[in-house]
Chain A
Amino acid sequence: MNILPLLASLEPDPQNTWAPVLLLIVMAVGFAVTNIAASIIIGPGRTGKGKEETYESGMVPIGDTRKRFNVRFYIVAMIFLVFDVEIVFFYPWATIFPDAIAKGTSSGLLLVEIILFVVILLLAYVYAWGKGVFQWD
């Protein structure tokens, strides 16, 4: 294996590591369902026409709730996705880089590769900045 034996001895048996996660999922779902059900069953339920109205500072609601909203939120989500994918690419690099330095093998190449990757993205970032994507007027 390429990882330092030092770190390898810290890692537990990788088999069955999902079993605790499964237990947690069961506990979490149980907690959520119990609480919501308890409050629906135990709590009082008195409703009426005025009470059922959507809260709008005490006024009768005006118009429809689902107004078209600013498309800017959509663009934020789009640019977020770009950076999100980029971060995912960083993780495999980050796990092999210290090892390469410790062994003194091809760490320079790894450094150049990631700098190239980041610089290309920074180009995009600068372009978007210049276009005023990050300005909120």
Chain B
Amino acid sequence: MIDWIQSNIPPWVYIAFIVHFAILGTVAYLILLERKVASWTQDRIGPNRVGPFGLFQPLADGLKFILKEDYRPAHVDKILFTIAPAIMIIVIIISIAVLPWGGIKQSTRQVTVATQTDLKVAAATALPVGMNVIDAKEVGSIPPGTNLKGDAVPRMSIVDATYRWPFQITNLNIGVLFIIGVLSLAIYGVVLGGWASNNKYAFLGALRATAQMISYEIPLGLSVLSIVVLYGSLDLNTIVDRQAHYWAGFIPAWNIFTQPISFFMFLICIHAEANRAPFDLAEAEQELVGGYHTEYSAMRFALFFLAEYAGMITTSVVCVALFFGGWHFPGLGGDVDPTNPSVTTSMSICIVRSIVIFTKTIGIVFIFMWVRWSLPRFRFDQLMQLAWRALIPISLLTLLMTALVLKFGGAMSETYRKELRIDGGLATIFFLSNVILIALVMIVSRMIPAAPNTNHRMRVIGSRYHPVPAPLTTTN
């Protein structure tokens, strides 16, 4: 039975289940972490009643969500009201498919296959689907004969097959574009939820959220492109692999140093895409009650909530993979292929790498929380102007700068031309170009006329801003 499972169930099935439940479990504890961070920022204690340090709080919350009334006001569009949170969580869960966790695992297994000229192809049929057989050596053979039923059996080869499989759920050749494409569907969860609720707050919140999410999708895509163009690969694991070396022997060659502008823009955009403070206009409590989920309760509300946090994890993993070297960590070596450090024969390295990338992700998520409890909210016109007047032109210029530096610096760098790795010299050029670009942007932005002040005083009749004051009413 174990043998049958080994040869028929590919590893991605286990990885999919583990990642799915690990992310959902982490989300529950992120909510606790968020409350702890909030209380720490505000000098409070935070949840500490349910279990030691409030550690069972997420379980209690989850139970409570299921046991609460799934309330639905009259006059809502019943079908859309239900599928909106479902769309949201489904989309977020699908987007975890291409996240890189542990590089590429190389394994060897002995299989018995019918002899043919191309043993690699023959060995691939005996292995689970999706294994990339790189080598197949014949170590023995069984002569042709008949089996117990009397059927003729051809000559069989005993083959030592060396094969590689990605230590992640799947490895599509569109990689990061898949995440961007799938996450762009999340807008429909928001817009349909807000529309179906038949509530003015929800509708306004949904409108704002939609405009915000589409506006920030453009600089998000462009800052991803400025990393993609460095390596010419959309695959996140390949991008991480190219970052896994050192400059001057000890500085990790992460893209945070080569493309700092892109990193900050990416960070801003994932905050805006997650609808979190300081971009939480969609659910601004003081003006819109709860925004697009005002009318939601019980598990339908919980799904929106889970989706927000799970989306934070997905985008943070992408951020870590693009800018912080993914699973690469100084000092973490071991049994790896020197030219392609992502390939390893050791299972424990894969697992340690998953832990490394997960820890880095939690670090980024902590930034999310830190920002949320430190910064005040934007006004809506400021929010849109940040996207359209600042982030989009800067991200376009960054992309052009990257192309120029690659053309003139990359062509001279021997390491880059041979291995598509950025060496110390090229990295310095990149860093200086970033500094120059940001200085240029700061100089030019002084010359551009400022946006008109939109903070009008409404001259409502009777208010103190109206030229003609309302008559005083006297009561006897």
Contacts and interface: CB of A to CB of B under 8 A. Distances in A.
> In the complex they form, do A and B come into direct contact, defined as C-beta atoms under 8 angstroms apart?
yes
Contact of B69 (A15, A20, A46, A98): A46
Contact of B214 (A16, A36, A76, A87): A76
B51 to A, nearest CB: 23
Counting chain B residues whose Cβ lies within 8 A of the other chain, the interface size class is 35 or more
A104 B299 CA distance: 57
Contacts of A39: 65-66, 68, 70, 298-300, 302
Contact of A6 (B75, B165, B340): B340
B418 A65 contact: no
A19 B218 contact: no
Interface string A95-137: 1111101101001100100110010011001000100011111
Contact of B130 (A16, A25, A55, A76): A16
Interface in B276-311: 289, 294-295, 298-300, 302-303
B385 A77 contact: no
Interface in A36-82: 36, 38-40, 42-47, 51-57, 61, 65-67, 69, 73, 76-77, 79-80
B203 interface: yes
Contacts of A102: 416-418, 420
Interface residues of A, number: 84
Interface in B195-230: 197-201, 203-204, 207, 210-211, 214-215, 217-218, 221-222, 225, 228-230
Interface string B246-274: 00000000000000000000000000000
Given A28-B90, A66-B203, A76-B384, A91 B177 contact: yes
Given A21-B94, A25-B90, A84-B218, A54 B238 contact: no
Interface stretch (B28-36, B154-162, B400-408): B400-408
A91 B388 CA distance: 21
B89 A45 contact: no
Interface stretch (B166-174, B352-360, B427-435, B439-447): B166-174
Nearest to B82: A36
B234 A11 contact: no
A99 B203 contact: no
Contact of B417 (A12, A95, A101, A137): A101
B140 interface: no
Contacts of A107: 407, 411
Given A9-B134, A98-B230, A35 B302 contact: yes
Given A87-B225, A125-B393, A21 B170 contact: yes
Contact of B420 (A33, A98, A108, A137): A98
Given A56-B199, A94-B229, A97-B229, A15 B130 contact: yes
A137 B71 CA distance: 38
A135 B164 contact: no
Contacts of A40: 70, 299
B295 A54 contact: yes
Interface stretch (B12-20, B109-117, B142-150, B320-328): B12-20
A98 B214 contact: no
A118 B399 contact: yes
B403 A97 contact: yes
Contacts of A47: 71
A92 to B, nearest CB: 10
B215 A23 contact: no
A127 to B, nearest CB: 13
B429 to A, nearest CB: 14
A51 B237 CA distance: 52
Nearest to B337: A9
A84 B392 CA distance: 12
B427 to A, nearest CB: 15
10 contacts: A19-B12, A20-B130, A23-B13, A24-B97, A38-B66, A42-B66, A76-B384, A90-B399, A91-B225, A98-B406
Interface of A: 3-4, 6-7, 9-21, 23-25, 27-29, 31-33, 35-36, 38-40, 42-47, 51-57, 61, 65-67, 69, 73, 76-77, 79-80, 83-84, 87, 90-91, 93-99, 101-102, 104, 107-108, 111, 114-115, 118, 121-122, 125, 129, 133-137
Interface of B: 12-13, 16-17, 20, 24, 65-71, 73-75, 82, 85-86, 89-91, 93-94, 96-97, 104, 124, 129-132, 134, 164-166, 169-173, 177, 197-201, 203-204, 207, 210-211, 214-215, 217-218, 221-222, 225, 228-235, 237-238, 241, 289, 294-295, 298-300, 302-303, 339-340, 342-343, 380-381, 384-385, 388-389, 392-393, 396, 399-400, 403-404, 406-407, 410-411, 416-420, 451-452, 454
Given A15-B130, A69-B204, A84-B217, 13 more contacts: A12-B164, A12-B165, A13-B130, A27-B17, A35-B303, A66-B203, A77-B210, A95-B228, A97-B232, A98-B229, A99-B232, A104-B417, A111-B404
The 8 closest A-B pairs by CB, nearest first: A39-B299, A136-B381, A28-B93, A20-B170, A98-B232, A52-B74, A32-B86, A94-B229
